[in-house]
Structure 1
Amino acid sequence: MERTTTASVSMQDVAKEAGVSPQTVSRVANGSSAVRPETRLRVEAAMEKLGYRPNYAARALKHGRFQDIGVVMFNLSSFGNARILDSIATAANNDDYAITVHSIGRGRDRSIKAAVERMKQLPVDGVIIVMEEQLADFSDFQPAAELPVVLLSENPAPYCPTVDADQYGCSQAIVDYLLGKGHQTVYHISGPAASRAAQSREQGWRDALSARSITVPPLYTGDWEADSGYQCGLALAHEADCTAVYAANDQMAYGAMLGLRAAGKRVPEDVSVIGVDDSLAGTIPRLELTTMRMPFDQIGRKAFSMVRDMCEGTDVPANVKTVIPTELVERGSVRDLNA
């Protein structure tokens, strides 16, 4: 049997197919709990068979909201972004919201304004923007009153709430940790220059060393991938004063460990290595990499709760900045030179 096109299917069609009233179909479409489970399943089966989709405009008129939050991302595949998106989706589901994801592709207008204008065309109540890069209109963007915006950014914005991990403080804590283990300096493998997180982590590393009057060693730059860390590890093996390496994510840190070992260095006996994010747990057996765990799940939940509150009329001051601390996870890749 040929499936009916979505545009031609009405609530009455679904009601006839399921053997219920149009009011019952409406209750199911709007998530009402006043429907028996067996009836709900019958109506949902009829919707699926006929290709019916709820009328979002009608739902918004009834409830005053679409019960949907837009999420704008630059990259859907990176570990951190995937974890953040998953936590937003879980929090939304728990509160009977849905999410609509928009990916900013290369070559598009990469601005907050463009992202929000795109979301205005969709049935969403508010927007979360994951600021992987620093966008040109970050300082002067003005959100529309009818569409609340929350930014995932370590830097505060004067026009909307922000939330992020403590990227800068994470680097300072890592440098303190390694210097406290008796290392005289710390080399750094940064992420790509365009990355906002990489910039913040690099600056925290530089400032932490400078604050202790330690000459900042040469910077090594990777691309978040393990192969770039491996190449940096091969090169770092020839730095005579390199006893400690801080890589801006775990993939590069793990690659650096392999590169150092391939060049004849022992980890941690000769060179200590530490990463950031704890993305390899459960992937690498007998993982020995010490890392600074990023609170991706907390970031997603907090971002959703803020934009939901704004959508539902709760006042969230525009300049609220929420910075969530990171957590040191000690394994076996750092040597204590004081011992």
Structure 2
Amino acid sequence: MTQLGGRPTPRSVDVARVAGVSQKTVSRVFNNEQYVSAAVRTRVLEAAEQLGYRLNNAARALASGRTRSIGVVALGTALYGPASLLVGIERAARETGYALRVTNTADSDPAGVAGAVESLLDQGVDGIVISEPIDEGEVSVRVDVPVLVYGAPAAFAGARAVTAGVRADLLARAATEHLLDLGHRTVHHLAGPQRWYSARDRLEGWRAALADRGLPEPSVVEGDWSAASGYEVGRELAADDTVTAVFAANDDMAIGLIRALREARRRVPADVSVVGFDDIPVADFISPRLTTVRQPFDAVAKTGLELLVHAIEKPDADPLPVSDPPVELVVRASTAPPPH
């Protein structure tokens, strides 16, 4: 071991000795390469932790020509969905051994995405994650590193793009079908702002569920993701006695909607059933407890980062196969069969 500040600094050869493996195996483990069994990987990681070994990313960057960093373009918002996905991306990146460099954009800034991408490219990132949920129009910037896209923003010139997402359309479809299976003749939709890709996906999932059963499609009402907008729209829906079921595009709007219904003496779920979207922490503690669909943020973030790292480290290889994320409907007390 070498000396640093009076303390020995462990090297990969020391980890190999303690783990009883070759130095090449240690390298494979820390580079997340294949052909290493789970038992050997665990042994190497335990030896590294025991010795206090840290991979010298700076040296590896010089040797490989990569910075071991990934840039993330994200909307600067505290909304549950985008914030939870960003946390999931950070966790997944940490597991891959890549550092994250996050650049936030502002709503209604047409140059936000392009400027953020240019800034990250100037920092020499090895890949870019676009977690920008709003349609800001055409993005004119050339990108020569792999790009992971969550949602469906405009394509970048020259980019090797891979896509991942929570498949909000499938989740919305499950929410709508739950209400139809309870016996409701149709389902109203409290939509999110249509500049958001996810709001469009949820709208399409709702429409597809109704179309598959040949059911009428009520007029769509649009909120802005806030509980206040759900409350305002809810006052309109509460005045319509034909409304027996509503799918809200997020839980906050569903909570505002429920308050408006109760103030209008429309019982939930005896008179009107309500399903939300996201499964925010408070959903299980309101009255009635909110039926909702849970977004698999961690699973989607992990899958997406695996796709991106594969594209970075094996540029000539075929993309990894991708399967749809799981659909998890959380049934609680806000849904029931329609009133007789």
TM-score normalised by length of structure 2: 0.76
CA contact (8 A) 2:133 2:153 kept: no
| Alignment-derived partner of residue 181 in structure 1 | 182
Q: Whose RCO is larger (CA < 8 A, sep 6+)?
A: 1
Aligned length: 303
Q: Deviations over 1:270-295 (max 9, x none)?
A: 00000011113577367610001111
CA contact (8 A) 1:69 1:128 kept: yes
Equivalences for residues 186-201 of structure 1 within 5 A: 186-201=187-202
Deviation of 1:248 (Å): 0.2
Matched, 1:72 2:70: no
Evaluate the alpha carbon distance shift between residue 198 and residue 127 of structure 1 in structure 2; reply closer, same or farther with a 3 A threshold: same
**Percent pairwise identity:** 33
CA contact (8 A) 2:104 2:116 kept: no
Between 67-76 and 188-197, the greater mean CA deviation after superposition: 67-76
| Alignment-derived partner of residue 143 in structure 1 | 143
Between 91-100 and 187-196, the greater mean CA deviation after superposition: 91-100
The answer for unaligned runs of 5 or more in structure 1 is 1-13, 42-53
Aligned-residue Cα RMSD (Å) equals 3.6
Evaluate the alpha carbon distance shift between residue 266 and residue 124 of structure 1 in structure 2; reply closer, same or farther with a 3 A threshold: same
Tell me the SS of whatever aligns to 1:324: coil
Deviation of 1:66 (Å): 1.6
Deviation of 1:315 (Å): 4.9
Deviation of 1:220 (Å): 1.5
Evaluate the alpha carbon distance shift between residue 229 and residue 112 of structure 1 in structure 2; reply closer, same or farther with a 3 A threshold: same
Deviation of 1:210 (Å): 3.4
CA distance in 1 between partners of 2:312 and 2:269 (Å) = 50
CA distance in 1 between partners of 2:51 and 2:135 (Å) = 50
Evaluate the alpha carbon distance shift between residue 113 and residue 193 of structure 1 in structure 2; reply closer, same or farther with a 3 A threshold: same
Q: Deviations over 1:234-265 (max 9, x none)?
A: 22111121000100001111111111001111
Q: Deviations over 1:133-157 (max 9, x none)?
A: 234337x97631xx11110126997
CA contact (8 A) 2:174 2:327 kept: no
CA distance in 1 between partners of 2:66 and 2:196 (Å) = 34
Tell me the SS of whatever aligns to 1:77: coil
| Alignment-derived partner of residue 20 in structure 2 | none
Deviation of 1:118 (Å): 1.9
Deviation of 1:36 (Å): 9.5
CA contact (8 A) 2:288 2:334 kept: no
Q: Deviations over 1:91-134 (max 9, x none)?
A: 22223221111111246444755443221111421111113023
The answer for unaligned runs of 5 or more in structure 2 is 15-29, 32-44
CA contact (8 A) 2:271 2:339 kept: no
Tell me the SS of whatever aligns to 1:264: coil
CA distance in 2 between partners of 1:303 and 1:35 (Å) = 27
CA contact (8 A) 2:191 2:203 kept: yes
| Alignment-derived partner of residue 117 in structure 1 | 118
| Alignment-derived partner of residue 22 in structure 2 | none
Deviation of 1:316 (Å): 5.9
Q: Deviations over 1:196-255 (max 9, x none)?
A: 111121122233323433322122211111111112222211112100010000111111
CA distance in 1 between partners of 2:212 and 2:96 (Å) = 46
CA contact (8 A) 1:293 1:329 kept: yes
CA distance in 1 between partners of 2:53 and 2:120 (Å) = 31
CA contact (8 A) 1:161 1:320 kept: no
